[in-house]
Chains A and B, each alone.
Chain A
Amino acid sequence: MSTQPLLEVDHLKVDFRTDEGLVHAVDDVSFRLGQSEVLAVVGESGSGKSVTAMTLMGLTRSPNARFEGSARLRGQELITASDDELRKLRGKEIAMIFQDPMTSLNPVHRIGKQIVEQIQAHDDVSDAEARDRVVTLLDRVGIPRSRERIDSYPHEFSGGMRQRVMIAMALSCDPGVLIADEPTTALDVTIQAQILREMRDLRERTGTSIILVTHDLGVVADIADRIAVMYSGRIVETGTLDEIFYDPQHPYTWGLLGSIARIDRPRPHRLPSIPGQPPSLIDRPEGCHFRPRCRHEFEDCPKYPELEGRIGQAPGHDDRCWLPVEEKRDRRVVADGQIGLEAEGATA
């Protein structure tokens, strides 16, 4: 998309001290986000995708958290930034929308007031001017009769409308980076389609870069430019949308792609699944974290797999699997061109 990455994350590690032991929530995560690029961070619960996103916003800071590595937004370090420095960036340079629009708005304040507050925290503008900006924002995210609705309370909006309000608030200071953590998961599909369309339009009109955290590969296929697949705290594979969908290198990605029920394909007798469960983040297997669930495990797997380019001709398509590329391309095909971890009907 552009030459100079907007956001550079290098070897980010986040650990939390708990009574049960040290939780390795994010482990050696590196990625780049370009101007007006949509990066989808995909993974299941506990994969570290949300912790990564929240760490960029400084929302995981706590006495029991430990950070390593770096994340630079236009060259400015976020991980070691002071709380004051972060407060100036949040909302202005980097903004976030959350999964649950019911709990992320203050229920006792009118929505207009909540957005005006954010605008005035960053820009020195009059009340009237700020209000005008809010009306424009509400229009932009598709809220009808914005001049009246600006004085409504959150409970007067439906779930889809509340998510639009959240997006309007996140965009109020034209941030360079928008982090959207499962923005449509709580919404119905027809509303999801509307919100995704708004997000695509926004990216085109404002050039905002988006980090989309989600578990839904359909949503990813709809909006992302690049994908990072996370498993057990690590990015196990990253590449362009088409690379991940049509030339996936990591067996976990195969399993993920294989286990989705699709409405555009004949239905299989049994849905392919990934056997077992993700490992505990306290006590992880040595080397590849996916090893215990992988049917392609071999003697190299207990060695630590770096996230690196293993396909000569595809720069930027990196993965953490020791199998040779040709072997991967052969093994991931489970039935007439379909990608999966194992053939249909294999025991779960």
Chain B
Amino acid sequence: MSAAAAPNGDAMLDVEHIKQHFPIRRGILNTVAGHVHAVDDVSFTLREGETLGLVGESGCGKTTLSRTLMRLIDPTAGRITFRGRDITHASRRELRPVRTEMQMVFQDPYASLNPRKRISQIIGGPLELHGVARDEIAQRTADLLERVGLQREHVNRFPHEFSGGQRQRIGVARALALEPKLIVLDEPVSALDVSIQAQIVNLLEELQEDFGLTYIFVAHDLSVVRHVSDRIAVMYLGRIMELSPAEQLYSKPIHPYTAALLSAIPIPDPRENRRRDRIVVGGEPPSPVDPPPGCVFHTRCPRAQDICRSEIPPLTDYGNGHLAHCHFPLNVTREEIAGSTKSPLSPAASGDSQPQYVDPELHPA
């Protein structure tokens, strides 16, 4: 993707302190017994033409966040600005024109296409809803099919006549139908075989270049995310742990959680794999119903100290757009810490304390 040019584009989407708390109801009186803190104070800006990778393990809130941004669910708090318009509380009617500009591609190509509808209806549906003339619909549907690498003659087929990879192409064609600006891709290749994954990833990149699309690419697979993204946000238990230009995240992970995630990925190269020192973090993510105080990763973090248990760390800006949410960052020098600033994207409840330098000799990762 056009890595160099992208981050200078205008803001496509501005996300400020978004929270998504789902109530848990119990008993016959349906009283609220607690909340699932699915997304907890997340802020970022997405620029036109860029691809932002959203990664994290199951339950980290990446899918909830992407659905909140699309206004498929109403946020508990915070503000969403799409191309200069505040859409946080926009009504369904007000959202209608916005919907043509933001589209979604889903993970499961088997569940996201209606099995009773022909491809012409699946792709043409959105066009019809938005008042495009009938003969133009047929023309555009066939063009779209061709554009995503299928044959025009396939318009009258049903989803079951296609393989997983082909179905995902149909899902992409449907998302493209209304010529959107922003496409949220929710694990678009996770359900596909490796060789087919590469086909779809390449298709998405070509389409981005041709149509100047902006992507949010949600995934748990850090290898694929690195390939497509300009910037990457790493989420854990509803918060952004690290936000970084794609390459830097891999060469210089600052948050211990990012380092642990990278280390956990086995490299498909036996010699490299034997050479590596792997960090295996123990335990499992805590429940989002009752997230731990302070830094949410402290229960599993090998570097955690007292302050991590009490104070929410700010998102610290280390320059070049590399931000991390940690009191004891990795891979940064004393000077880099001295030059760092508290990012305005920090959670509202975070403290002001500056990160502390940890000598890598005394305290290896």
Interface residues of A (CB under 8 A from B): 44-45, 158-161, 188-194, 196-197, 215-222, 241-242, 245-246, 255-257, 259-264, 267-268, 270-275, 277, 348
Pairs across A and B, CB under 8 Å, 26 listed: A44-B194, A45-B193, A161-B284, A189-B222, A189-B265, A190-B260, A190-B261, A190-B264, A190-B280, A193-B263, A193-B266, A197-B280, A218-B273, A222-B273, A245-B268, A259-B197, A261-B201, A261-B223, A263-B265, A270-B202, A271-B198, A273-B195, A273-B198, A277-B196, A348-B199, A348-B202
What's the Cα separation between A191 and B284 when bound, in Å?
8
| CB contact between A264 and one of B163, B193, B272, B284 (< 8 Å): that residue | B272
Contacts of B227 in A (CB 8 A): 261, 267-268, 271
Interface residues of B in 139-177 (CB under 8 A from A): 149, 163-166
Question: B149 — nearest CB in chain A belongs to which residue?
Answer: A348
Beyond A222-B273, A255-B195, A263-B226, whether A189 also contacts B264 by CB under 8 A is yes
Interface residues of B (CB under 8 A from A): 57-58, 149, 163-166, 193-199, 201-203, 205, 220, 222-224, 226-227, 247, 250, 260-273, 278, 280-282, 284
Beyond A188-B57, A197-B280, A267-B227, whether A219 also contacts B194 by CB under 8 A is no
Is B250 a contact of A194 with CB atoms below 8 Å? no
- Knowing that A218-B265, A262-B223, A274-B198 are A-B contacts, what are 11 other residue pairs whose CB atoms are under 8 Å apart, sorted by A's residue number? A45-B193, A188-B57, A189-B220, A193-B264, A221-B268, A222-B266, A260-B223, A263-B267, A264-B267, A273-B198, A274-B195
Contacts of B267 in A (CB 8 A): 218, 221, 262-264
Is A259 a contact of B266 with CB atoms below 8 Å? no
| CB contact between A262 and one of B58, B269, B271 (< 8 Å): that residue | B269
Contacts of A262 in B (CB 8 A): 223, 267-269
Q: How far is the CB of A116 from chain B (nearest CB, A)?
A: 26
| CB contact between A257 and one of B202, B262, B268, B271 (< 8 Å): that residue | B268
Is A261 a contact of B224 with CB atoms below 8 Å? yes
Contacts of B260 in A (CB 8 A): 190
Beyond A272-B198, A277-B165, whether A242 also contacts B272 by CB under 8 A is no
What's the Cα separation between A218 and B264 when bound, in Å?
10
What's the Cα separation between A275 and B247 when bound, in Å?
28
Q: How far is the CB of A73 from chain B (nearest CB, A)?
A: 28
Q: How far is the CB of A41 from chain B (nearest CB, A)?
A: 15
What's the Cα separation between A191 and B58 when bound, in Å?
11
Question: A223 — nearest CB in chain B belongs to which residue?
Answer: B266
What's the Cα separation between A207 and B224 when bound, in Å?
36
Contacts of A197 in B (CB 8 A): 280
Contacts of A241 in B (CB 8 A): 270
Q: How far is the CB of B227 from chain A (nearest CB, A)?
A: 5
Is A221 a contact of B266 with CB atoms below 8 Å? yes
What's the Cα separation between A85 and B347 when bound, in Å?
63
What's the Cα separation between A272 and B220 when bound, in Å?
21
Q: How far is the CB of B152 from chain A (nearest CB, A)?
A: 18
Question: B282 — nearest CB in chain A belongs to which residue?
Answer: A194
Ranked nearest first, the 3 interchain pairs of A and B with the lowest CB-CB distance are A273-B198, A218-B266, A188-B57
Beyond A44-B195, A259-B197, whether A188 also contacts B268 by CB under 8 A is no
Question: B163 — nearest CB in chain A belongs to which residue?
Answer: A277
Is A273 a contact of B199 with CB atoms below 8 Å? yes
Is A215 a contact of B198 with CB atoms below 8 Å? no
Is A194 a contact of B280 with CB atoms below 8 Å? yes
Question: A42 — nearest CB in chain B belongs to which residue?
Answer: B194
Contacts of B272 in A (CB 8 A): 264
Is B282 a contact of A264 with CB atoms below 8 Å? no
Is A245 a contact of B196 with CB atoms below 8 Å? no
Question: B194 — nearest CB in chain A belongs to which residue?
Answer: A259
Is A264 a contact of B269 with CB atoms below 8 Å? yes
Is A263 a contact of B165 with CB atoms below 8 Å? no
Beyond A261-B226, A348-B149, whether A192 also contacts B264 by CB under 8 A is yes
Contacts of A196 in B (CB 8 A): 266
Contacts of B262 in A (CB 8 A): 263
Question: B220 — nearest CB in chain A belongs to which residue?
Answer: A188
Contacts of A158 in B (CB 8 A): 284
What's the Cα separation between A197 and B263 when bound, in Å?
13
Question: B247 — nearest CB in chain A belongs to which residue?
Answer: A267
What's the Cα separation between A255 and B196 when bound, in Å?
11
Contacts of A242 in B (CB 8 A): 270-271
What's the Cα separation between A160 and B59 when bound, in Å?
13
Is B202 a contact of A273 with CB atoms below 8 Å? yes
Is B270 a contact of A221 with CB atoms below 8 Å? yes
Question: A43 — nearest CB in chain B belongs to which residue?
Answer: B193
| CB contact between B270 and one of A189, A245, A259, A261 (< 8 Å): that residue | A245
What's the Cα separation between A215 and B271 when bound, in Å?
19
Is A215 a contact of B194 with CB atoms below 8 Å? yes
What's the Cα separation between A196 and B278 when bound, in Å?
12
Q: How far is the CB of B266 from chain A (nearest CB, A)?
A: 4
Q: How far is the CB of A296 from chain B (nearest CB, A)?
A: 16
Contacts of B202 in A (CB 8 A): 270-271, 273, 348
What's the Cα separation between A216 and B282 when bound, in Å?
22
Question: A191 — nearest CB in chain B belongs to which residue?
Answer: B284
